[in-house]
Chain A
Amino acid sequence: MKIALAGNPNSGKTTLFNGLTGSNQYVGNWPGVTVEKKEGKLLADKSITLTDLPGIYSLSPYTNEEIVARNYLINEHPDVIINIVDATNLERNLYLTTQLREIGIPVVVALNMMDVVRKQGTFICVKSLEEAYGCPFVEISALRSEGFTDLLNKVYSVKGTEPQKRLIFDHHIEEHVNELENTLGDLNYKRYYAVRLLENDQRLGIEVSKETLETAERVRKELEGIFDDDIESIFATERYEYIEKSMKTCHKCGLKKTFNPDTILMNKYLALPIFAFVMFCVYYISVTTIGTIATDWVNDTLIGEIIIPGAQNLLASIGTSEWLIALITDGVIGGVGAVLGFLPQLALLFFLLSLLEDSGYMARIAFLLDKIFRKFGLSGKSFIPILIGTGCSVPGIMASRTIESESDRKMTVITTSFMPCSAKLPVIAMISGAMFGGASWVAPSAYFIGIVAILISGLVLKKTKPFKSEEAPFIMELPAYHMPKASNVFKHTWERVRSFAVKAGTVIFVACIVIWLLSNFNFAFEMVDSNESMLADIGSVIAPVFKPLGFGTWEASVATLTGLAAKENIVGTFGVLYGTAEVAEDGMEIWANLQQAFTPLSAYCFLIFNLLCAPCIGALGAIKREIGKGKIAVFALTYQTIFAYIVTFIMYNVGKVFF
């Protein structure tokens, strides 16, 4: 038996899904789109599969989520639809109910958040609702796991039954819908198709006869004449009028006035300072203090002093050859470990973001900043990924998941890594120390260029095809504030941390091995120093490419290449290439070598190119994961590199005139 779970965003759908299935769920993407698909077996009955449809407001043919939900319902023939409805926001939620009802698949409505409704003193009459919509309504609280047994009993009882008819629309419309249904022969879901045809839906997914199309065309014209309105508006208005009417008999609003935090949080003068303070706290806790302490401990103590020496000893004791020990410890553990070292920071960050999301404040951030960001083709929600990106691009890119609009999200994913992350700081420190006497303008200028790169890219990408087509409207619900629930927040955090760890175990694992091999062997497969390795050879081949940018030495090219594994490698690579094995974070030992190899201008160009060009392999993996399609990930990489090249080229050649 198959059940589909449908409902508005913010109706508690995911909570109900988790409550009904436990944690044994399968998460994937719907074919062809990056909308997440979740499936799970019911805890109460393992023979029942529950599919969590994307959160939607309507079955209109305009957004990815809506199309995915429609296609699933029509093509996969679930036995029952559970329509979860936020009972504190009944009127708007019932709009989708009227649409789900007309498909013809039995519907059970789960009235969620009934505990809150009762607390507000609001009265909802379940009997009248069932009467009005012709399907069972069950009171539940997904958060408190209340009413689940009732809900499932109702699901069993409606399975296989013919849904009751209700006249939602004006009699003119009902007659015409019937007329159109009759032309559809023995098609499944006739009423659904008839209404869609009348609405002139262009993504019907079926072929219909010429007669049907002509009838639809004629009937549509007639109705538009009778109502003096266009067809989409007629249907929407009729649905809401029916709902309003039903609300009169089954809903009595509580008189309790609750305090609205927005009076302060969105106050004209206080909103921005409060927002800045909240962001400061998030950043301070996760990136600069507690998170960093934990991350440093994992990197230096746990991995550096315990795991790597331990592994070395273990492997040596069982007689492993030296090169394999080096591959495993330096290449794999060192490389993957460097990425996994971010885990504590990430976990803390995701935890705080989940708090903001769950409480409802995240939507207000978008509301607050939308005006600024949309000038550059980004959304108000792009702020968070960019801010986090200053710590590490990987969680920054992953944080872009909270952006609903597909084009805004892609744009944010592609541009987030322009921000100098913490791994780029050693490079900045090295260049500024060696070439500019540690001048205080170097680091801020890197951030400034990062921000400008994001904004310019917003403007440029907006003009390109993948981002232009879907100018997403900013018509957003501002959900009521509520206390985040611990288990939800932990679940959110855990899911994100896990997907990060999985990636480190796959993409990054392979990349680390490849880069290690390239930098430790020559083309004759002999183990050599890195300045004679394949990587060095490749470096000298591509060095001419960087000549127009001012840094056409093979060392600089190799450093740029190893920077792809992790940006802080750039400093280490210079250390190895200039013959100093160990270098401090700012590479002080090799400043003299750098001063000979670079001019201040070419060094600055080298710095900027490395900040803007393709990010490290970890971030690339994140981009690929978040964008989904390989083609766009390649586009992202190409765009970033070309963008960096052009900017640096201009900088160097203009700079040459002045310096």
Chain B
Amino acid sequence: MTNTLDKIKPGQTVRVTKLGGEGAVRRRIMDMGLTKGTNVYVERMAPLGDPMELRLRGYSLSIRKADAEFIEVV
């Protein structure tokens, strides 16, 4: 079942299937290692609910939900 990354609950691991969006933000997301086929573990939400902290490729990345919305995962 496809979902977008912002909907994933902390503690779950998902795989990236598609990157929407465009331009600088999208490129930055890919440069940081969120490419097609990457496994991503959702570590936590910030205490105020946004942004979210991800674990991928051996490091921690924080990303706003608004940007995570463009990332499709299974």
Contacts and interface: CB of A to CB of B under 8 A. Distances in A.
A237 B36 contact: yes
B11 interface: no
B51 A90 contact: no
Given A233-B19, A266-B44, A473-B25, A367 B30 contact: no
Contacts of A90: 58
B31 A89 contact: no
Interface of A: 57-58, 60, 62-63, 88-92, 95, 229, 232-233, 236-237, 240-241, 253, 262, 266-269, 271-272, 363, 367-372, 374, 473-480
A651 to B, nearest CB: 33
Contacts of B19: 233
Contact of A95 (B25, B31, B60, B61): B31
A370 B51 contact: yes
A367 B53 CA distance: 9
Nearest to B67: A473
Interface string B5-23: 0000000000000010001
A91 B33 contact: yes
Contacts of A269: 47
17 contacts: A89-B59, A92-B57, A92-B59, A236-B31, A237-B36, A240-B35, A240-B38, A262-B44, A266-B47, A367-B51, A368-B47, A369-B48, A370-B51, A370-B64, A374-B64, A477-B60, A480-B59
A476 B58 contact: no
Nearest to B64: A474
Nearest to A369: B48
The B interface, classified by DSSP as helix, strand, loop or mixed, is: mixed
A325 B62 CA distance: 58
Nearest to B61: A477
B54 to A, nearest CB: 9
A232 B25 contact: no
Nearest to B16: A237
Given A89-B59, A473-B28, A473-B67, A370 B50 contact: yes
B27 A62 contact: yes
Contact of B46 (A91, A236, A371): A371
Given A240-B57, A371-B50, 17 more contacts: A57-B32, A58-B27, A62-B24, A266-B44, A266-B46, A271-B47, A363-B62, A369-B48, A370-B46, A473-B67, A474-B51, A475-B29, A475-B64, A475-B67, A476-B61, A476-B63, A477-B62
A268 B30 contact: no
B36 A229 contact: yes
A367 B58 contact: no
